[in-house]
Amino acid sequence: MQTQFRIICATRASAAEFRASSALGRSLALYPFPFIQVSLCPENTLGLPLIYNAAVRRFAADEPVFVFVHDDVHLLDFFWPDRILQGLERFGVVGVAGNVRRIPKQPSWVHVDERFTPDDACHLSGAVAHGVGWPPDRVDYFGTVGREVRLLDGALLAVRGATLRAHDLWFDERFDFHFYDLDFCRQAERAGVTLGTVPMPIVHQSTGNYGGVAWRKSYASYLEKWGS
């Protein structure tokens, strides 16, 4: 039986604007595959964990593969569902880039300190292009893909609904748009769920919004929860 995919996305745009103008909306128009369903939260002002958890509560019993993805992500691969399925044969949660280690007070999967010093390439895995289309402005190659990691980039996370149910995994709703991904990775690791990267080409229009007021508030909450 064909595996069902459930894409979960929140956007500040209207539904019509999402379909016509957003990176993800335009990408999905290319893939009208019957096994892909899209759950969109338009004109959204809520934190992503609230949106993601609501979708899990509604659809997890159907046991789809959930793809939690930002609206500014272009999906470039005709066979991206197959890439995800191949990754989920090895790992419980997959993404496009991550870090094989985690160090105290790490502020993101790719940085090692609050000065946003990039981690050494030997600890990183995956690749993400950045820009507004194809060809992109650049391709950031982080390291060998297909590695087991401890932290994943939250621009795109994929996991089976059955895995979420079996391990009682949820996104922590104390986080809005920052640190929910790192927190989810740590919850997965604590539950014994492995994480890994897949060779799935995307273009991400954002490079992250590190260091702002909202980011620092979430960072403080993250450290308060985990201690480091």
Measured CA to CA, the distance from residue 207 to residue 109 in angstroms comes to 13
Residues 6+ apart with CB under 8 A from 88: 65, 94, 158, 159, 160
Measured CA to CA, the distance from residue 175 to residue 222 in angstroms comes to 8
Total tally of structural domains belonging to the chain: 1
Chunked into runs of 10 residues, the chain (228 residues) has average pLDDT values of 95 98 96 96 97 97 97 96 98 98 96 95 97 92 98 98 98 96 98 98 87 93 96
Please report, for the domain that includes residue 76, its CATH number: 3.90.550.10
Q: Which domain holds residue 163?
A: 5-226
Q: What is the pTM of this model?
A: 0.97
Measured CA to CA, the distance from residue 17 to residue 76 in angstroms comes to 20
Distance in angstroms between the alpha carbons of the first and the last residue of the chain: 44
Burial of 106 (C-beta count, 10 Å sphere; 0-12/13-18/19+) = buried
Residues 6+ apart with CB under 8 A from 179: 218, 219, 221, 222
Q: Which two tokens stand for residue 79?
A: 């066979």
